[in-house]
Amino acid sequence: MADTILILEDESLLGAELRRHFQRQDWEVCLCSSLAEARHWLLEQQLDPLVVLSDMSLGDGNALSLLEEVRKAQRPQEWIFLTGYGSIPDSVQALRLGAFDFLEKPCDLGRLDLVVQGAARSARAQRRVELMSSSVGQGVDAFVGRSEAAERVRALLQRLLTVPFSALAITGETGTGKGLVARILHQGGLHRDGPMVEINCAALPKELLESELFGHEAGAFTGAKGRRRGLLEQASGGTLFLDELGEMDIELQAKLLKAIEDKRIRRLGGEQEIQVDVQIIAATHRNLQQRVEQGSFREDLYHRLSVFQLELPALRERLDDIQDLVWPLVHEFNLKANRRVRHIPPEVWQRLRQHHWPGNVRELRNVVERCVLLAEDERFPLEWLQLGKSHEAEPVPVMKAEVQGDALVLPLDGSMALDEMEKHIIETALTRHGNNVVATARALGTTRETLRYRLQKYHIKI
């Protein structure tokens, strides 16, 4: 298909000559003799020229104003200005607005051709980059999968992208794509021009998380040296992604709910209320309703978040998606590790479909990475799948966590949740160090405060 050039020229003889010239070079030419006409084609008819070749001063105004309007609305395109003698200030302004180049009239056609070719190359390159960044990470298609369950997720995401929600919860097992979906919602949603700020609620003790979220004034607590803007403020105009919200302390949950409802916060130690316009996306692998029944999650916050809720299916419930997920991953790791895996034997597909996938897509990603990295030729190596026996085929013997010398072996067959593993690691380390908190913290590569917080969290008594 021919590329389009829009020529904006009110001298009819010159306009006609330029049109003939570019048509001879296989351009699709749209010739306009006024700003109004060009505005009609570019903004109302959404004509999408690769290059615009424009006179600077026209009967109905200066073309710079149109360039400014179009820049906001159009896909990448390059503008070249034809200027009269002595209009240097306008030309400087044109370059500042992002014009590709300007040529003084009368201009030599050979020179004009060179400049137009350069502009076309530049616009094509920008469009390629735009296309790549829109297919990677942006848009609901980044959530891959042909299964009905994946289609339902994409359809719901598409709807949510147009809804001005203030809070939303994404639930699903670990590795099902909660982080991915949060990024899709931010990048394609109504808050996309603002920042996306993330925090993992399980990673910090309550006091620290509170000051991270709400900020503090100088001297609000011991160690609060200067004033600090919290993440709710920093994310204003954008999205705050609260990962592992199920782990948030219940008192802090109340404060968060108030911030969502009032759209106002107060920094710790601060008097003044600060307006925040932020959409909150919360993710958790917990069953929040169950947490409510157990009394560890506030019912009112649960109801607030359930207005818009997205439940992501486990990979074992959408085995048809495995094929769609595996090929892009093979391609990605082929490129990264300079491999050329092209052939996936039927036995591999069969084993992939039989596995239980407790770590979901993240686990699949790790498996594909290992196999591609260890492949010796074009064949996807079955021997490196190392998936263990299928859950459906025969029951897998239950593995137990056990200490082997200085090492601790943990089962990765889904029988032990991450929290249980962490609790077990801490208990084992404590026993080894005679319940000495300082020595245990050192052995685990963490601080005494963090360890104390974990002890409290897991109700470990020493």
Inter-residue contact 418 to 174 (CB < 8 Å): yes
Measured from the CB atom, is 144 or 252 closer to ligand ATP? 144
Q: Taking the complex as a whole, how short is the minimal distance between the CB of residue 180 and ligand ATP, in angstroms? A: 4
- 215 contributes a contact to ligand ATP by CB under 6 A: no
- Cα of first residue to Cα of last residue in the chain, in angstroms, is 75
- 224 contributes a contact to ligand ATP by CB under 6 A: no
Q: Taking the complex as a whole, how short is the minimal distance between the CB of residue 285 and ligand ATP, in angstroms? A: 5
Q: Taking the complex as a whole, how short is the minimal distance between the CB of residue 326 and ligand ATP, in angstroms? A: 11
Q: Which tokens sit at 448?
A: 């005494």
- 285 contributes a contact to ligand ATP by CB under 6 A: yes
- 176 contributes a contact to ligand ATP by CB under 6 A: yes
Span 234-263, contacts to ligand ATP by CB under 6 A: 243
Measured from the CB atom, is 104 or 151 closer to ligand ATP? 151
- 380 contributes a contact to ligand ATP by CB under 6 A: no
Span 318-347, contacts to ligand ATP by CB under 6 A: 325
- 316 contributes a contact to ligand ATP by CB under 6 A: no
Q: Taking the complex as a whole, how short is the minimal distance between the CB of residue 367 and ligand ATP, in angstroms? A: 12
The Cβ of residue 295 has, within 10 Å, a number of other Cβ atoms equal to 9
Inter-residue contact 400 to 412 (CB < 8 Å): no
* From candidates 14, 149, 180, 401, binder to ligand ATP by CB under 6 A: 180
Q: Where are the alpha helices (DSSP H) in 338-460?
A: 346-354, 360-374, 418-432, 437-443, 448-457
Helix (H, G, I), strand (E, B) or coil at 241: strand
- Window contacting ligand ATP (CB under 6 A); options: 109-117, 297-305, 361-369, 443-451: 361-369
Inter-residue contact 174 to 361 (CB < 8 Å): no
Residue 214 buriedness (CB in 10 A; 0-12 / 13-18 / 19+): buried
Measured from the CB atom, is 174 or 334 closer to ligand ATP? 174
CA distances 350 to 32, 344, 384, Å, are 61, 11, 14
- 147 contributes a contact to ligand ATP by CB under 6 A: no
* From candidates 76, 179, 381, 414, binder to ligand ATP by CB under 6 A: 179
- 174 contributes a contact to ligand ATP by CB under 6 A: yes
Q: Taking the complex as a whole, how short is the minimal distance between the CB of residue 202 and ligand ATP, in angstroms? A: 10
Determine the Cα–Cα distance for residues 444 and 430; give it in Å rounded to an integer. 10
Q: Taking the complex as a whole, how short is the minimal distance between the CB of residue 179 and ligand ATP, in angstroms? A: 3
- 144 contributes a contact to ligand ATP by CB under 6 A: yes
- 361 contributes a contact to ligand ATP by CB under 6 A: yes
- 103 contributes a contact to ligand ATP by CB under 6 A: no
Q: Which tokens sit at 245?
A: 């919200």
Q: Is the peptide bond prior to 106 cis by the omega test (within 30 degrees of 0)?
A: yes
Largest CA distance in the chain: 95
Q: Taking the complex as a whole, how short is the minimal distance between the CB of residue 170 and ligand ATP, in angstroms? A: 8
- 362 contributes a contact to ligand ATP by CB under 6 A: yes
Binding residues for ligand ATP, rule CB under 6 A, total: 18
Determine the Cα–Cα distance for residues 189 and 165; give it in Å rounded to an integer. 10
* From candidates 49, 172, 230, 358, binder to ligand ATP by CB under 6 A: 172
Measured from the CB atom, is 180 or 224 closer to ligand ATP? 180
Interior angle at CA 41, CA 38 and CA 45, nearest 5: 160
What DSSP letter does each residue of 127-182 carry, written as one string?
Answer: HHHHHHHHHSSSSGGGS---SHHHHHHHHHHHHHTTS--SEEEEE-STTSSHHHHH
* From candidates 27, 79, 100, 143, binder to ligand ATP by CB under 6 A: 143
Give the residue closest to ligand ATP by C-beta.
177
Residue 175 buriedness (CB in 10 A; 0-12 / 13-18 / 19+): buried
* From candidates 15, 175, 238, 358, binder to ligand ATP by CB under 6 A: 175
Determine the Cα–Cα distance for residues 264 and 280; give it in Å rounded to an integer. 13
* From candidates 178, 186, 191, 216, binder to ligand ATP by CB under 6 A: 178
CA distances 111 to 27, 107, 115, 116, Å, are 17, 7, 6, 9
Q: Taking the complex as a whole, how short is the minimal distance between the CB of residue 127 and ligand ATP, in angstroms? A: 25
Q: Give the footprint of ligand ATP on this chain (CB under 6 A).
A: 143-145, 172, 174-180, 243, 283, 285, 325, 361-362, 365
